[in-house]
Structure 1
Amino acid sequence: MNNKTPEQTPWRVLIIGAGFAGLGLAMQLRRQGHDDFLILEQADEPGGTWRDNHYPGAACDVPSHLYSFSFEPKLDWSRRFAAQAEIFAYVRQCIERYQLAERIRCRSEVAEASFDEAAALWRVTTRDGAQFTARALVSACGQLNRPLYPQLPGLERFAGEQFHSARWRHDVALSGKRVAVIGTGASAIQFVPQIVPQVARLHLFQRTPAYVMSKPDRAYSRFELALMRRWPWTQKLDRAWQYLFHEVRGVAFFLWPALMKLQRQRVLRQLARQVPEPALRARLTPDYPLGCKRILISNDYYPALRQPQVEVVDTAIREVTEQGIITADGQLREVDVLIYGTGFAASDFLAPMRIRGLGGLELNQAWREGAEAYKGISVNGFPNLFILYGPNTNLGHNSIIYMLESQFPYVLACLDKLDQGVRYLDVRKPAQDAWNRQVQQAISQSVWEQGCSSWYKNAAGKHTNNWSGFTFSYRRQTRRPQWADYELVR
């Protein structure tokens, strides 16, 4: 899509990924008057998670006004919680407004990137063999971009159709079919209610039940939309209110997790109202503290599970056969279609790319005990590499867009430093270690360390994903780089 050849590089900055993070940084570069950047996108078109997740019922669980850039507000969101199609349209609108199409190279999956210390350049190779060089490399791949498939014996034998919710097959008709859904996470609670009316039978395989809270969603009235068009500051006011409302919830996540016990009782009372059947309610009642895993929001999930054609199965899966699924008790459930709602490889940051820094150090070697980065952005030994939505910057209580908007000025300041005679900047190991000790110490006191396993942790149990504090605290700490924490090589 761009009109510049790789040979005309080096670029000032190369961005990997054209989702909210990569596009947001590109928009900020445009606002600063910079044009010397390129976005490499592995898919056929930009859009990130909102391009990939087009399953029935796909929508955001963060309010629309909060899930859009403060510097590029959308005044006509149709609902308080936008659906996938509307968010994807917003992304394309941003691309058009900032004329980013010419700076996006699609079908360009990065295979490897290595830092050339002598030239102070990143050398990047894509899967199709194209090569690029750049002074700075920005990873904007996100944490939820690689579908995680279950490792079940016999999956390859299954004779019917099978797909992951993030790779939804709209060409597979579900009407009148026997369907098995494996997984009960944030995607499943959205698509399950949508497909229940179509299917002849639905078996929902659940490893651990989730806490599901009601979703305060509704369409914006014509009056509200007219008000925001007439006085845009009213949208800003609503955005600020939504931010404060969500930020206050952080108190229960990482200051006083005991507060979650009160909220848990409210959630369980709601479950009792929506699911009066004792046996089904028992299967849907979590036995871990509220907030330890991701809290889900839905108004139609529990009612869908009460339908006569739905079975919630909490017995472990033993194997998959040609006809269906056999559980640990030996029972075979014959199915026509398998759908995986098993989430993403969230802790495998930057995989499967091979990233090599100073002295040929591989990033997966540096992260062998779990991903970590100074302020979630810089990694020691990998100069001029900046990560957006990196380790320990995910949230349980607010909007990731706010976190991204905290990171953009930080990365831009580092890029400006490179324009001021600095060949490369490399975060110092003591600074990175001190930062991560502080992060892990805070997490150890949070609700996420209350005795459950979740995608917030890696296989070894290290918390690699979540930020363990208020978002305004993160913004304060990323307002400007502390150059003493970096080795500046001139």
Structure 2
Amino acid sequence: MNPRVVVIGAGFGGIAAASALLGAGFTDVVLLERAAEIGGVWRDNTYPGCACDVPAPLYSYSFAPNPVWSRRFPPHHEIFGYLRRVADERDITRRVRPNTDVVEARWDDDRWVITTAGGERIEADVLVPAVGQLTKPVVPSLPGAERFEGPAVHTARWRPGLPIDGCRVAVIGTGASAIQLVPAIAGRAAHVTVFQRTAPWTLPRPDRRYGVGRRAAYTKIPFLMGLPRAGVWAMTIVTGRALLGRRASGALLRTVSAVQRRWQVRDPELRAAVTPDEPMGCKRVLFTSAWLPALARDDVSLVTEKIVEVTADGVRTADGVSHPCDLLVYATGFAASDLVTPLKIIGREGSLDEEWRDGAYAHLGMTVPGFPNLFLMYGPNTNTGNTSVLYFHECQARYLVQAVRLLARGSPPLEVRRDVAAAYDAEIQQRLSGSVWTACQNWYRNASGRIVTNWPGMASEYKRRTARLNPADYSN
């Protein structure tokens, strides 16, 4: 038997799943992509300065190292190009069905029936939602936003031709996209006003350009690429321990961050404004060497007062000051906890929305009781704040291959036992209630008090726990 596997989404997660399945000899694989081409977040995010914030040696598949990165932290177009090249080389591109928007997937006796927005019905033995956690942009509901007369855009929906040169730009947010965007447009715009709710933790970005000699050596001797990958991995162990509350590692990184602020921001008032007031790890620690110098420019202003309304030509804050702008940019992130929405998935006993009414959960972040032969990529509690999410994608893809092998050998549909999933979820939530996460609860917990996005341990632990599928975890 060659089970038919349908993957929903053709970003890094979907390509990892398809590659692992094809490499294992399972050829009946199709990827349904709602957009016109593959790419996921790297297709959708095209704002100025968009680049990788994880070093390229680790932000690439272990099975497809790239010898021709131009630098350690490559720009958007290189990452997008790398993903498309991997899909071509591994015979995945021709299996992608673009412009196919899935609206529903329903378990029907012994298979999944998938319905597209065009009314087409597609059957599958195994369903792999790979829609990611960063697909639904968050745009805050600000009074008067509809009155703004200029263009307004979220960074994930950037449009060519937006006015920057010589214009006044307002940027709401100070997360991962803002710290790339602002340095890229400062000096081009007449003025940039940045609205900050909380200051992010930053660390220097150890970027460097890769020369022709290095690229040639990597091309001729591919195993050399394992050396920088190992080095970056070692660095993530230090940052991971710091984010999990290890005192020595945490103290080291906090010191480095403080020195960076002291060195790059000479104005004491501005330095105080960019000093974080929550524990390191509550939000993603950002690697940047350009953010703080950009904020110190005369043509850039940092505003920490609360926004009270958007006017026809700007933004007004709680201190009564009006900040004029010609372009309004929302660098406000994504609804990461709204996994798989708006896709409706219906299992044996009801919808995934109902199963997740108190918050998303999944055994090993991949499979849910009542939903046979369903394996999520980048599912609940598999987000990482210190290493590459591609590492988690590969772990999940290897687990998926084991499941499909069992089905190919005649196993009945694989449905994780409810007691197994409950025990795993209880462990994860208990670990996420530790002191570090408790201090950060306002950032990560949903309305029911659960943390549904983050993984509580080191990445190596996740690899170990997903290395072998235990058939006893599944109902017969």
Q: Work out the CA distance in 2 between the residues paired with 1:18 and 1:257.
A: 40
Alpha-carbon distance, 1:306 to partner:
1.2
> Identity of paired residues, percent?
44
Partner of 1:481 in structure 2? 469
1:400 aligns with 2:389: yes
1:39 aligns with 2:31: yes
2:129 to 114, 129, 139: 139
1:105 aligns with 2:94: no
SS at match of 1:405: helix
* TM value normalised by structure 2: 0.96
SS at match of 2:414: strand
Alpha-carbon distance, 1:70 to partner:
1.0
Partner of 1:314 in structure 2? 304
Partner of 2:405 in structure 1? 416
Alpha-carbon distance, 1:176 to partner:
1.3
Alpha-carbon distance, 1:367 to partner:
0.8
Q: Work out the CA distance in 1 between the residues paired with 2:367 and 2:406.
A: 15
Partner of 1:5 in structure 2? none
Q: Work out the CA distance in 2 between the residues paired with 1:321 and 1:460.
A: 35
Q: Is the 8 A contact 2:203 2:256 kept in 1?
A: no
SS at match of 1:377: coil
1:201 aligns with 2:191: yes
Shift in CA distance, 448/347, structure 1 to aligned 2, threshold 3 Å? same
Q: Is the 8 A contact 2:114 2:122 kept in 1?
A: yes
Partner of 2:47 in structure 1? 55
SS at match of 1:385: coil
Q: Work out the CA distance in 2 between the residues paired with 1:298 and 1:353.
A: 35
Partner of 1:356 in structure 2? 346
Query: Aligned ranges for residues 55-204 of structure 1 at < 5 Å?
Result: 55-117=47-109, 120-204=110-194
Structure 1 letter corresponding to 2:428: V
Q: Work out the CA distance in 1 between the residues paired with 2:6 and 2:326.
A: 45
Query: Residues 401-444 of structure 1, C-alpha deviation per residue, up to 9 Å, x if partnerless?
Result: 11111111111111121222233111111101111111122222
Alpha-carbon distance, 1:222 to partner:
2.5
Partner of 2:427 in structure 1? 438
1:384 to 373, 376, 383: 373
- Structure 1 stretch displaced more, 347-356 or 441-450: 441-450
Query: Aligned ranges for residues 226-245 of structure 1 at < 5 Å?
Result: 226-245=216-235
Structure 1 letter corresponding to 2:464: R
Q: Is the 8 A contact 1:288 1:452 kept in 2?
A: no
Partner of 1:471 in structure 2? 459
Shift in CA distance, 206/459, structure 1 to aligned 2, threshold 3 Å? farther
SS at match of 1:132: strand
Q: Is the 8 A contact 2:241 2:250 kept in 1?
A: no
In angstroms, what is the RMSD of aligned CA positions? 1.6
Q: Work out the CA distance in 2 between the residues paired with 1:316 and 1:374.
A: 40
Q: Work out the CA distance in 2 between the residues paired with 1:293 and 1:258.
A: 20
> Unpaired segments of 5 or more residues in structure 1?
1-9
Alpha-carbon distance, 1:158 to partner:
1.1
Q: Work out the CA distance in 1 between the residues paired with 2:227 and 2:304.
A: 44
Query: Aligned ranges for residues 255-294 of structure 1 at < 5 Å?
Result: 256=246, 259-294=249-284
Alpha-carbon distance, 1:254 to partner:
2.2
1:370 aligns with 2:359: yes
Query: Residues 7-34 of structure 1, C-alpha deviation per residue, up to 9 Å, x if partnerless?
Result: xxx9711100000110111112222232
Query: Aligned ranges for residues 1-20 of structure 1 at < 5 Å?
Result: 12-20=4-12
SS at match of 1:156: helix
Q: Work out the CA distance in 1 between the residues paired with 2:155 and 2:453.
A: 22
SS at match of 2:86: helix
Shift in CA distance, 78/446, structure 1 to aligned 2, threshold 3 Å? farther
1:453 aligns with 2:442: yes
Q: Work out the CA distance in 2 between the residues paired with 1:321 and 1:45.
A: 37
Query: Residues 303-328 of structure 1, C-alpha deviation per residue, up to 9 Å, x if partnerless?
Result: 11111121111111111122221112
Structure 2 letter corresponding to 1:127: A
SS at match of 1:410: helix
Q: Work out the CA distance in 1 between the residues paired with 2:280 and 2:318.
A: 28
Alpha-carbon distance, 1:259 to partner:
4.3
Alpha-carbon distance, 1:379 to partner:
0.6
- Structure 1 stretch displaced more, 303-312 or 10-19: 10-19
Partner of 2:17 in structure 1? 25
Q: Work out the CA distance in 2 between the residues paired with 1:261 and 1:409.
A: 36
- How many pairs align? 475
Alpha-carbon distance, 1:260 to partner:
2.0
Alpha-carbon distance, 1:445 to partner:
2.4
Partner of 2:317 in structure 1? 327
1:337 aligns with 2:309: no
SS at match of 1:453: helix
Alpha-carbon distance, 1:300 to partner:
0.8
Shift in CA distance, 446/28, structure 1 to aligned 2, threshold 3 Å? farther
Q: Is the 8 A contact 1:205 1:314 kept in 2?
A: yes
Q: Work out the CA distance in 2 between the residues paired with 1:467 and 1:78.
A: 31
Q: Is the 8 A contact 2:151 2:328 kept in 1?
A: yes
Partner of 1:6 in structure 2? none
Alpha-carbon distance, 1:221 to partner:
2.3
Q: Work out the CA distance in 2 between the residues paired with 1:126 and 1:71.
A: 32
Structure 2 letter corresponding to 1:267: S
Partner of 1:4 in structure 2? none
Q: Work out the CA distance in 1 between the residues paired with 2:25 and 2:472.
A: 28
SS at match of 2:183: helix
Structure 1 letter corresponding to 2:387: N
Alpha-carbon distance, 1:210 to partner:
0.5
